[in-house]
């Protein structure tokens, strides 16, 4: 009986590993990447200061275009001490920050940290994914939604956005908290008061040691489908907060980046440990899986840029983990553009991507120029693309034709 049980377990494990053959190859086989970078265009590294020791504009996990010529970045220079996604989870000193950058296609100003008005100065702040929620028809200003993957219960911080004399100002409105916020990673808004929220893990290191560390490791390296995407509705008035949370996309291995197509037909979700992007049809607040596309790396964040879906991530996990453990000072970067093969714009993006996809490499680096890419996004009006780097010193700004 025991022998039979062990045989079944071995067979199931073998089948599981066979299903992961693409993910294993994408993440564990080293790639020949160019020194510095290859992007088919001019790129420059944007930093706060030239001296690395004084540079605080670094370790930026996510970013977005607030308006043409203005970008916002989510950064945490203490990520080596506090990384809730991969560890470690020590006691960090200085908290994370949000930054703004003003630019044109040919010039770039110095990035500056954003003051968080009305946000408690002693509050734990570990920003990860960020998103702009549109203003309401009643005239409510746009909001910036920020995942705060802090030491205790993760939250979503809601800030009101103002542009005064072309300077970005943020005023804290409310902290959204809910028991379901276990491992939030990325966020995409679908209305002024609702958003989709990805959770990369079910188990976290917040579970008492050693169980938490063991279960998190198993979930990650066995690529178990315990991640998910939730629909969250909320109010930002005093005394309100989260109204409802409902899981809309369960059973995703390490659900990470999430993006909504411009026509609203498609929700794209990154499955990091499977090295693939999943596509879901969207009908108001209901989403349904339709297809997927494999990419040659451990995919992190996603962002639509017109007809393209930009996907960035980590092409060689051993080198990435060595850098996380401070055994190396670089890890490679990789960005692709996923586009439908069909150019018939009379059809939805969902219908066209389901009929076939092209995956084109648009940025690579061996880590000597930009290390550990975690996201890419584009300002179409300024013909500019940014690549953010989870453990990188600054962000890359590239021209787009």
Instruction: Collapse the DSSP code of 150 into the 3-class scheme (helix H, G, I; strand E, B; otherwise coil) and give the result.
Output: coil
Vertex 297 angle, CA 225 and 216, to 5°: 35
The whole-chain average pLDDT of the chain stands at: 90
d(CA 109, CA 158): 27
Within 8 A by CB and 6+ apart from 143, the residues are: 132, 133, 135, 158, 159, 160, 161, 173, 192, 236
Alpha helices of 309-357 — where are they, by DSSP H? 317-324, 349-354
Tokens found for residue 193: 């008061």
Q: Is the pLDDT of residue 18 over 70?
A: no
- The four Cα atoms 343, 347, 353, 356 give a dihedral, to 10 degrees, of -60
Least confident range from 193-202, 211-220, 266-275: namely 211-220
pLDDT band at 343 (very low <50, low <70, confident <90, very high): confident
What pLDDT is attached to residue 88? 60
Instruction: Collapse the DSSP code of 89 into the 3-class scheme (helix H, G, I; strand E, B; otherwise coil) and give the result.
Output: strand
d(CA 80, CA 381): 35
φ, ψ for residue 327, nearest 5 deg: -95, -5
d(CA 297, CA 277): 11
Tokens found for residue 400: 């787009």
What pLDDT is attached to residue 11? 62
Q: Which tens digits make up the pLDDT trace of 88-115?
A: 666 656 789 999 999 998 999 999 999 9
Which residue has tokens 């969250």?
232
Instruction: Categorise residue 45: left if φ over 0, alpha if ψ from -120 to 50, beta otherwise.
Output: beta
Q: Is the pLDDT of residue 136 over 90?
A: no
In b/e form, how buried is each residue of 129-144, taking b as 16+ CB within 10 angstroms?
bbbbbeeeeeeeebbb
Percent of the chain with pLDDT over 70: 89
d(CA 401, CA 392): 25
Q: Which tens digits make up the pLDDT trace of 139-196?
A: 556 999 999 998 888 999 999 999 888 899 999 999 999 999 999 999 999 999 999 9
d(CA 153, CA 307): 37
pLDDT band at 9 (very low <50, low <70, confident <90, very high): low
CB atoms near residue 189 (< 10 Å): 17
CATH, domain 2-399, list 2.120.10.30, 2.60.40.1180, 2.60.120.560, 2.160.20.60 = 2.120.10.30
What pLDDT is attached to residue 103? 96
Q: Is the pLDDT of residue 15 over 60?
A: no
Q: Which tens digits make up the pLDDT trace of 296-335?
A: 999 999 999 999 999 999 999 999 999 988 899 999 999 9
What pLDDT is attached to residue 94? 74
Greatest mean pLDDT among 14-18, 83-87, 393-397: 393-397
pTM of the model: 0.93
Average pLDDT of the residues in 377-397: 96
**Which burial class, exposed, middle or buried, applies to 128 when counting CB atoms under 10 A from its CB (0-12, 13-18, 19+)?**
buried
What pLDDT is attached to residue 261? 98
């Amino acid at each position: 009986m025991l022998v039979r049980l062990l045989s079944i377990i071995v067979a199931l494990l073998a089948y599981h590993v066979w299903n992961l053959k693409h993910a294993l190859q994408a993440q564990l086989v080293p790639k020949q990447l160019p020194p510095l970078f290859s992007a088919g265009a001019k790129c420059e590294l944007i930093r706060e200061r030239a001296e690395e020791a004084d540079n605080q504009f670094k370790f930026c996990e996510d970013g977005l275009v607030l308006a043409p010529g203005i970008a916002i970045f989510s950064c945490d220079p203490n990520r080596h001490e506090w990384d809730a996604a991969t560890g470690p989870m020590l006691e960090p000193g200085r908290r994370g920050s949000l930054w703004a950058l003003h630019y044109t296609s040919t010039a770039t100003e110095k990035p500056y940290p954003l003051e968080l008005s009305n946000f408690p100065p002693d509050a734990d702040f570990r920003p990860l994914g960020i998103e702009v929620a549109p203003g309401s028809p009643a005239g409510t200003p746009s909001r910036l939604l920020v995942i705060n993957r802090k030491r205790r219960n993760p939250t979503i911080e809601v800030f009101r956005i103002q542009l005064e004399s072309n300077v970005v100002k943020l005023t804290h409105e409310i902290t959204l908290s809910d028991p379901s916020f276990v491992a939030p990673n990325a966020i995409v808004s679908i209305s002024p008061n609702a958003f989709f929220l990805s959770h990369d893990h079910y188990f976290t290191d917040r579970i008492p040691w050693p169980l938490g560390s063991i279960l998190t490791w198993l979930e990650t390296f066995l690529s178990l489908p315990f991640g998910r995407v939730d629909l969250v509705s909320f109010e930002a008035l005093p005394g309100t907060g989260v109204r409802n949370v409902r899981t809309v996309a369960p059973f995703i291995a390490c659900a990470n980046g999430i993006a909504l197509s411009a026509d609203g037909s498609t929700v794209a979700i990154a499955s990091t440990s499977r090295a693939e992007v999943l596509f879901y049809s969207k009908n108001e607040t209901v989403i349904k899986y339709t297809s997927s596309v494999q990419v040659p790396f451990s995919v992190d964040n996603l962002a639509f840029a017109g007809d393209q879906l930009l996907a960035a991530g980590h092409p060689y996990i051993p080198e990435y983990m060595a850098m996380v453990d401070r055994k190396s000072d670089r890890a490679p970067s990789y960005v692709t553009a996923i586009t439908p093969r069909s150019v018939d714009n009379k059809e939805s993006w969902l219908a066209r991507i389901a009929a076939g996809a092209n995956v084109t490499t648009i940025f690579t680096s061996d880590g000597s120029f930009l290390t550990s890419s975690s996201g890419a996004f584009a300002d179409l009006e300024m013909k500019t693309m940014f690549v953010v780097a989870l453990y990188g010193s600054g962000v890359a700004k590239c021209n787009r034709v």
